[in-house]
Chains A and B, each alone.
Chain A
Amino acid sequence: MTLAAAANENLAHISNVLIYSAMAVYTLAFLAHIAEWVFGSRSAVGRTAAAITVEAQETAAGTAGKAAAQGGGTAVLERPKVVTRSVTGDRDVPDGPGAAGTSEKGDVYGRSAISLTVLAFLLHAGGVLTRALSVERAPWGNMYEFSTTFGMAVVGVYLVLLVLKKNVRWLGLPLTTTILLDLGLAVSVLYTDSDQLVPALHSYWLWIHVSCAILSGAALWVGACSTLMYLFRDGYEARLVAGRTGAGLDRYLAELPQDRTWARFKAKLAKGTDNPVSRLPAAATLDKFAYRINATVFPLWTFTIVAGAIWAEAAWGRYWGWDPKEVWSFITWVAYACYLHARATAGWKGRKAAYIALFAFATYIFNYYGVNIFVTGKHSYAGV
């Protein structure tokens, strides 16, 4: 017993070291991403932005539609070619060039940032695994464990999307920032020594319910990031079409009366953010990406709640009792259903739907931090 306990303590110690190492490497990745964006802004962004402006104005002049056409030349074609065109009335603004712009140096930094993220992820996963071994159960018994696993899942989702060749490299900087915050909070405020579970958590539903909750949250985080960027990018594109970027924005700002503080603030904010925002994917791309993530997660989140209800029925004798944790997962669910409806309703697509999506994600986060810390209910367990 004491021998095993010592071994476990040892493992728990290794786990802590791994988590701290992962944080160090994430910090390097974070710095590399910063360098990527900085080099990108110095490089050809001016040129890129100008090119986009020209193209966008052309589009605005009524040459919408993209069916590319070209004569076939060879005698026998191998495979018929497929042409796609957008019919949703999106502005035909192309995706931005990415964080590094056209800067090769920036690109190198960006690539190293991703390699560092992979390394940090391995350390991070090792930390979570040794923690699980040290407590001989799923590492989700308290908020410290939940936070470290949640961060790992977020990075995991990002890396999987990268491997699938999805256009998510722009996520790098927000990702490392979030992970550092998440882990920082975990090791400083939420840390709990490794330990066994209270009896209510002894159930295989813990594995099913909590792993689904963590995975849903990780994917929803990616969706929310995309939505947030969409809002910035959408504003940028609207101004692009209206000719209010770059010099146009300067002119607009100069003409704005001093007392229109809010408009001036927005214009200045735009001036400060246009450069990085111009390197993001197009608003339509971000919007669609966010929708796909959220729509994919919705059934999983539904399942998470159903699994939780089945577990609650076994543990507490009722499958639904309006416990704060249950209430907030229900709110999150309804809010995402609301978002899906908004996407399917004329007049609610676009920015309004995006605000609903951000509200929905906020309810998820509140359920996690807010309810565990500020509200007491049946879901409060050992430590925090």
Chain B
Amino acid sequence: MSKTEPTPATEDQDIGAAGSQLSTAPTEDEGVAMPGSFGGVRKPGALGWLAWSGREAVGWVRWIWRQLTSMRVALILLFLLSLGTIPGSLIPQTSVDAVKADNWRKAHETLAPVYDKLGLFHVYSSVWFSAIYILLFTSLIGCIVPRTWQFVGQLRGRPPGAPRRLDRMPVYSTWHTDAEPGQVLAAARGLLKKRRFRTEAAGDAVASEKGYLREAGNLVFHIALIVMLVSFASGQLWKSEGQKLMVEGDTFANTLTQYDDFKSGSLFRADDLDPFSFSLDTFEGTYERTGPQRGTPRTYEAQVTYRDGADGTPRKKTIKVNEPLETADSKVYLIGHGYAPVVSVYDGQGKLAYRGGVASLPLDANVTESTVIKVPDYRDKDGNQSQLGFKGLFVPTQDPAMPMVSRFPALDNPRLVLTAYRGWLGINSGVPQSVYQLDTSKMQQFKDKDGKSPFAQNLKVGDTMTLPDGAGTLKFEGIKAWATFQVSQQPGNGMALVGAVAALVGVAGSLFIQRRRVWVRAVRGADGRTVVEMAGLGRSESAKLPEEIADLAAALTADAPPVAPEEPEAAEEPVAPADSQDSAEPSEGARA
């Protein structure tokens, strides 16, 4: 009999009515009005034109808004977003690694200007990328607001009544019983309520619905996306991020002037900085000693003493790579390290002209470092004012065969190889100078005894380098470690985390919860017995719904025990074959 069921068209209508508002997703209106036809009749004269233009403009705005908030456009914008994100990962970004981006620019002279025009060196703040996500989020808001109202309306309303023909629903069950229809319906309602369906009795049937959390989850998810965007944006605007290099023993107080390098969002103000201070007690790195990964770093640990506020009690803490120091709203991360040879320089008069740890610039993975020592306050042996500069390499593990390159990052055989200059360092010339570079344009290199080759020396700790002509001495006193720290303050992190968790919970609810309707109808059949019909409709077909209906039907038979129909025509009632538990599956398809 099922083979001669009515045409699909009417079935679709039935299903459509029964399933209306199972979701708050916007329906696609395919045949949108022809754009440009909004104004209607244009009356003669300027006023007529004005009225027409007004109607036309409003019509256009409405049309664009409808397009923008449609699922189809959201989908396209999402796709554009995923495509638009790609170039930023393949082309070096100034915001991520400025040096690399500059090198790339230099290496591709023809492409670089084009890329610059397209904003490809700062994709994530470029006009076109911003346009995509702003449109997407506009669309998102335009979509969420009406859906939320619709959903609230559904929660206030009642589940829609039973469709006329339950046997056309995707999941269906029926049986005959001797119980009274009223009894059956009351029992069905009780049963459904107990299973936390919202129920509504209407006429000869009970309507019920469950799984509203799906819609709620979906809305929460989409709203959480907005929360995350807002917190990300506010984090960018108010954040501050500064770096500070500290040699063991140094102390840092969190004020703008103390930073080596400082970046902040456009709305950040200097007095937003948390007051705290810390000093670097020791820094220690360990490295792999054997195997092919020899020299790979294993642990980095910085011992610090910090004070909260201007004069809090000093506390100790170890900062590791994954474990920043957290104080007030700021976090202090360990981001780099190196060695600082400690030297004393005595001038031509034998007076101490300089003493300190000289943070040197690491050049390779084994921490070969370039060392520059500037001695601005110096007198030669005749008492004339001048300046000294030293330049060279610090090598934590020297191999005599290759004295200029370190073989291992730990201090196994530390050496300092230096050469010296005298003259003027150019410090006060007004041009800012790097501490890692020696400007030798106004300096003269000391020469060896032969008067030609440059004077240089390879020093162990404790060694002294005596400059020619009694110009002074340099003593290599010892080695300290230095570490660079990044101090970050980024408001909005907490809100971003809340948004992320809400998004997770929401999307899980949205994808794992089935929203579905179940109807039970009980009427007296031609044979005088009660015909019970039960049907279910989900938002999407799922293997779970047939199971649930089977379960509900079985539970209901406690109050409506099935009996076989006697009338021959009653056999026409669709009753599934004995193996229908399984036969339910093929049409269901994936048994996932």
Residues on A lying within 8 angstroms of B by beta carbon are 5, 62-89, 92, 94-95, 161, 165-167, 192-193, 195-200, 202-203, 205, 281-282, 284-286, 288-289, 292-293, 295-296, 298-299, 302-303, 306, 309-311, 313-324, 327-328, 330-331, 334-335, 337-338, 340-342, 344-348, 356, 363, 371, 375, 382-383
Contact = CB atoms under 8 A, between A and B. Distances in A.
A72 B527 CA distance: 15
A320 B552 CA distance: 48
Contacts of A192: 292
Contact of A82 (B74, B292, B504, B576): B576
29 contacts: A64-B8, A67-B5, A68-B576, A68-B580, A69-B572, A69-B575, A70-B577, A72-B565, A73-B564, A74-B564, A84-B171, A84-B588, A85-B172, A87-B12, A94-B586, A196-B296, A199-B321, A202-B299, A202-B321, A288-B541, A299-B511, A314-B322, A315-B321, A316-B333, A318-B241, A324-B90, A331-B85, A331-B86, A335-B82
B554 interface: yes
A183 B128 CA distance: 41
CB-CB nearest 10 A-B residue pairs: A71-B571, A81-B576, A289-B590, A285-B589, A327-B89, A67-B2, A334-B82, A80-B553, A77-B562, A288-B590
Nearest to B545: A84
Interface in B288-302: 288, 290-293, 296-300
Nearest to A203: B322
A167 B564 CA distance: 35
Interface stretch (B386-394, B404-412, B488-496): B488-496
Contacts of B488: 317-318
A199 B298 contact: yes
Contacts of B90: 324, 375
Contacts of A166: 590-592
Report which residue of B30, B500, B503 has the largest number of chain A beta carbons within 10 angstroms of its beta carbon: B500
A195 B493 contact: no
B74 A88 contact: no
B167 A67 contact: yes
B49 interface: no
A88 to B, nearest CB: 6
Given A69-B2, A81-B575, A84-B588, A202 B322 contact: yes
A87 B541 contact: yes
Nearest to B534: A80
B252 interface: no
B324 A306 contact: no
Report which residue of A5, A83, A165 has the largest number of chain B beta carbons within 10 angstroms of its beta carbon: A83
B78 A79 contact: no
A292 B534 CA distance: 27
A10 to B, nearest CB: 14
Given A68-B583, A73-B564, A327-B89, A82 B172 contact: yes
A199 B590 CA distance: 45
B28 A165 contact: no
B88 interface: yes
A69 B1 contact: yes
A166 B588 CA distance: 12
Nearest to A90: B589
Contact of A314 (B171, B299, B324, B571): B324
Contacts of A363: 82
Interface of B: 1-5, 7-8, 11-12, 15, 25, 28, 30, 71-72, 74-75, 78-79, 81-82, 85-86, 88-90, 93, 95-96, 124, 167, 170-175, 232, 241, 288, 290-293, 296-300, 320-324, 331, 333, 335, 486, 488, 490, 493, 496-497, 500-501, 503-504, 507-508, 511-512, 532, 534, 541, 546, 549-550, 553-554, 557, 561-565, 571-572, 574-578, 580-581, 583-584, 586-592
B526 to A, nearest CB: 15
Contacts of B534: 80
A314 B333 CA distance: 8
Given A87-B11, A292-B592, 14 more contacts: A69-B576, A77-B175, A77-B562, A81-B580, A84-B584, A87-B15, A161-B592, A198-B297, A200-B322, A282-B589, A322-B93, A331-B85, A340-B511, A347-B72
Contacts of A298: 507, 511
A289 B268 CA distance: 51
A284 B331 CA distance: 53
B227 to A, nearest CB: 13
Given A75-B564, A89-B8, A317-B331, A288 B589 contact: yes
A193 B306 CA distance: 41
Report which residue of A73, A82, A327, A337 has the largest number of chain B beta carbons within 10 angstroms of its beta carbon: A82
A148 B288 CA distance: 24
Given A73-B564, A199-B321, A302-B503, A86 B541 contact: yes
A366 B186 CA distance: 58
A328 B580 contact: no
A363 B321 CA distance: 30
Contacts of A67: 2, 5, 167, 172, 574
A346 B23 CA distance: 14
Contacts of A356: 79
Contacts of B546: 82, 84
A137 to B, nearest CB: 12
A167 B591 CA distance: 7
B274 to A, nearest CB: 15
A317 B333 contact: yes
Contacts of B584: 82-84
B63 to A, nearest CB: 19
Given A79-B554, A166-B590, A285-B589, A337 B78 contact: yes
Contact of B291 (A195, A295, A323): A195
A192 B534 CA distance: 62
A77 B573 CA distance: 14
Contacts of B541: 86-88, 288
Report which residue of B4, B298, B592 has the largest number of chain A beta carbons within 10 angstroms of its beta carbon: B592
Nearest to B577: A70
A40 to B, nearest CB: 20
Given A88-B541, A198-B297, A324-B89, A346 B580 contact: no
B293 A345 contact: no
A205 B323 CA distance: 12
Report which residue of B89, B95, B532, B591 has the largest number of chain A beta carbons within 10 angstroms of its beta carbon: B89
Contacts of B89: 322, 324, 327-328, 331, 371, 375
Given A84-B587, A317-B324, A338-B78, A77 B335 contact: no
A293 B28 contact: no
A76 B561 CA distance: 8
Nearest to A58: B3
A229 to B, nearest CB: 12
A7 to B, nearest CB: 14
A319 to B, nearest CB: 7
